Amino acid sequence: MSDYRGYEGSSLEFLKNNQIKIGDSVKILTDITYSGIIMPRYEHSDDQHIVLKLKSGYNVGIEISKIEKIEKEQIIEKTSEQTEEISKIEGLPKILLLSTGGTIASKVDYRTGAVTPVLTAQELNSSVPELSKIANIDAEVLLAEYSENIMPENWLEIANKIKEYEKSDYTGIIVAHGTDTMHYTSSFLSFALAGFPIPIVLVGSQRSSDRASSDAALNLIGATKFITETKTKGVYIVMHQDESDNTIACHIGTRVRKNHTSKRGAFQTIGDYPAFIIAENQIQKNMSKEFYSSNQFEPKINLDTKVALVKYYPGYNPKLLEQIIDSGYKGIIFEGTGLGHVGKVMYDSIKKAHEKGIFLGMTSQCIDGRVRMTVYESGRDLLNLGIIPLENMIPEVALVKAMWTIGNYQNSEEIKKIMLQNIASELSE
3-class secondary structure, 51: strand
Q: Which residues are catalytic?
A: 103, 179-180, 258
| CB distance 407 to 304 below 8 Å | yes
Pairing state between β 69-74 and 94-99: unpaired
| CB distance 204 to 219 below 8 Å | yes
Q: Which of 205, 311, 193 is nearest to 254 (CA)?
A: 193
Residue 333's alpha-carbon distances to 38, 198, 306, 370, in angstroms, are 48, 31, 11, 15
Q: What are φ and ψ of residue 251, in 5° steps?
A: -105, 140
The 10 Å Cβ neighbour count of residue 8 is: 13
| CB distance 389 to 159 below 8 Å | no
> How many Cα atoms occupy the beta-carbon half-sphere of 1 within 13 Å?
18
Residue 240's alpha-carbon distances to 35, 213, 414, in angstroms, are 31, 12, 39
| CB distance 237 to 424 below 8 Å | no
Q: Which residues fall within 8 angstroms of residue 164, CB to CB, at 6 or more apart?
A: none
Q: Which of 419, 315, 404 is nearest to 360 (CA)?
A: 419
Q: Which of 398, 157, 412 is nearest to 301 (CA)?
A: 157
- Give the span between the Cα atoms of 155 and 353, in whole angstroms: 28
Order of strands across the sheet that contains 33-38 = 59-63, 49-54, 33-38, 25-29, 69-74
